[in-house]
Chain A
Amino acid sequence: MSRKQPKGEWIETDTGNKVNRKANLIGTQHIMLGGKTVIMPDAMIRGDLARTATSAAGGPPGSNTAVFIGRYCFLSKGCCLRPPGRIYKGAFTYMPLRLGDHVFIGEGSIVQAATVGSHVHIAKDVVVGEFAIIKDYVRIMEGTIIPANMVIPSFSIVAGQPARIIGEVPEGGHEAFELRERYKSVKTNPLAAGS
């Protein structure tokens, strides 16, 4: 996909993140990437929605990261990561959004979860409601709407509007969540990608 694009379309960071220049990263100082993450064009991360209420402990100023992303995540075209918000101690505030490792987010999906575990596959056109918690090894099928505050246990296959658990990930299906190959397949250098 990067083949026809001019040189410099991708930025590769020291930790191996491949970020497309057309991605919308807002409030980058509040976004933490674990490394080896691919961010496709038009993907949006709302880092500006950081926690406004000061935490009780009064941590260091740099600690209010809005979006944590682990390693080998893949954010497809047009997806949106948006930290969830609620009223906390009488004032509205956003809460951080955490993604584990090997999280795939499909095209046009909106994720407002509190936590997404590792090895999670979110297909396209999925809406993950605010403060949902998705554990490890979860597959979310296309078009699913996960209501706010829902908890999805490990090894679940989820579909429907609203989401319901429709099956279990079989023992042999764990390797399918690995995103290393997918990371390698994204060529950031237009020359190396060939004709």
Chain B
Amino acid sequence: MASFTPYSYIQCPCFDATGQARPSDESPSASSSDAPESDDDHAFDPRSPRSNYSLYPIEHLLYCVDCNQIRCPRCVAEELVTIYCPSCLFEVGSSSVKTEGNRCTRSCFQCPVCIGPLAVQSLEPAPESSSLLTADNAAPPAPGPWALCCSYCNWSSSEIGIKFDKPQGIFGQLAKIRDGDGHGDISVAAVDAAPTKKSGDAEADSTKSRFALMRSFYQSQLANSNSTSSGNLSGTLGEYGYGSPTALSRIMSLYSGNGLAALKPKSRPTEIREADSFKDGFRPSNLDESSSISALRENGYDGTVTNSQATSQVDEGARFVEDLWPIPHLLRSKRAKRCPVCRHILSKPEAKVNNTRWRIRLVAGNYIPSISIKPLNPTDTPGLPVPDTSSLTLTPLKPTQYLLTFKNQMFDQIKVTLATPATTPGRFASRVTVLCPQFTIDANAEDYDINEALKDDRRQDKEEAAPQVEAGKPWERGRNWVSIVVEVIPSSLRIEPKPAILRKPGEAEDLGPLKEDEDILEIPMFVRLEWESEAAQDQVGSTASKDKEAKEKRELAYWCVLGLGRISQD
């Protein structure tokens, strides 16, 4: 069985917001059929399909200090700070992204076969140097032609007949070959299997260039039709030019045949000719597939592209290995995040690509206690490393104890109240008992090094006495952490119909086989935090309240899910 590490996920409050906004989705679903209408009583079911979208490990969560609320990656608003190429790490301006597209134009390419990085290499090894990297040094540059080579799978662009005259400006050279306005000096070899691909007539092959041709064709058509039909109503509309919305609606009506078209003379549609040749950007679909079939017969399955190779291509429609072009690197971005409610910035990275610092970083880990889970095994000494628990499984119907450690990162003392349903939701209801549902955790004080060391020593002394599992008392506490014990009685995973007495009327019973991860014991837990902090420390316009030095009572409550372990299946 796959190894299992206990986890704790926290539910973002945006889950409830969507539930309230769209109640129609919620009501008929099977998972909520047993849930009461009142939201207060509604126990959170971690197995409901919607839960997947709201549960996050604490590292992924942010915290808005103005709203006092957790914010997840799904509900924050993102803003672009910097766009850069992940390979050459050069920043790309947003204006050039608009004109050049979302790919790097600085000779950063990925292998179309294995997506490894491509390096420019000379095809004819020079006696003294064979690598591009030496070309800019004192050594004489290696003679061309050059090709892009993959260091991982040894793919070379010369395999598809692409060679370059110079080792710089690969993106431009490749675009020239691709878009068909290449000069004679670029050798395009391998005119074999697919004649439409590389023959002279069909040079305009890429979607981009065909689009450009087609666009210019229709633009000229439109200009012509506007000048000829200046007498009637649509002629005056046409003066607004191609880009105006009225012109667009006119084009739409031309093709849809209703609306404005009804008003127009019947001769109008004939004036616009459809694109019908290569120079208009028109490419008829190649119904003669004999060349593809023969290529398939010749090269077999190895000659075709895989699904992932085809989808990672810039242009769609690649079917054979020789259709695979080097992939320019997709650009990547640094993004700032804002609270969706108050627009407060939650995280903002430095703008420079190589700077890894953050101007603002309000992460949930600094505001809510972290929960770590450890199986409680009274026999082993806590000082020793815990034996490999990942292989252990929970025995059905055998009470098992787990230690939950809450660590407070705030500088205020917090009071924690926990609540769990008595049995876990789902088909296999395990019993859950939190032995100490209410406790306080001391503040994360600054003077920690010495205190922690002392506590550690004291703890080691205490360990001889081995703390007792006692209801209502924390198991152990430290400077800014408290561990408590949770006892679970895992249910049996045997699938058998309920006795008729226990069955609710009209309830359909699910006797299907064990679903994926249904054997994981997951406990939904409601965590409520209460603390007193200095009122509105860094809020705007809070000078009046600051003078009072008043403590302000705050609270935060959220659901979380604890994944404890797998229940063994026998």
Contact = CB atoms under 8 A, between A and B. Distances in A.
A151 B116 contact: no
B117 A147 contact: yes
Contacts of B58: 172
Contacts of A154: 354, 356
Interface stretch (B35-43, B125-133, B168-176, B280-288): B125-133
Contacts of B130: 87
B88 A151 contact: yes
Interface stretch (B194-202, B361-369, B439-447, B536-544): B361-369
Given A137-B356, A172-B59, A153 B365 contact: no
Interface stretch (A59-67, A71-79, A162-170): A162-170
B129 A90 contact: yes
Given A136-B356, A164-B115, A165-B86, A90 B59 contact: no
A89 interface: yes
B139 interface: yes
Interface string B176-205: 000000000000000000000000000000
Given A147-B152, A153-B86, A165-B86, A175 B365 contact: yes
A170 B73 contact: yes
Interface string B82-119: 00101111000000000000000000000000111101
Nearest to A3: B384
A176 interface: yes
A85 to B, nearest CB: 12
**By CB atoms of chain B within 10 A, which of A119, A149, A165, A173 has the most?**
A149
A14 interface: no
Contacts of B383: 194
Task: Among A119, A129, A151, find the residue whose CB has the most chain B CB atoms closer than 10 A.
Answer: A151
Most buried by A among B59, B137, B364: B59
A21 interface: no
Contact of A89 (B87, B117, B137, B364): B137
Interface residues of B, number: 41
Contacts of B365: 172, 175
A28 to B, nearest CB: 29
Contacts of A155: 356
B560 interface: no
Interface string A130-172: 0000011100000001011111111110000010110000111
Given A86-B133, A89-B134, A172-B62, A162 B88 contact: no
B117 A170 contact: no
A164 B361 CA distance: 27
A170 B151 contact: no
Interface of B: 58-62, 73, 84, 86-89, 114-117, 119, 128-131, 133-134, 137-139, 150-153, 332, 337, 347, 353-354, 356, 358, 361, 363-365, 383
13 contacts: A87-B130, A87-B134, A89-B134, A135-B354, A135-B356, A147-B116, A147-B151, A150-B116, A155-B356, A156-B86, A165-B86, A171-B337, A176-B59
Nearest first, the 5 closest Cβ-Cβ pairs linking A and B are A172-B363, A147-B152, A172-B59, A90-B128, A147-B116
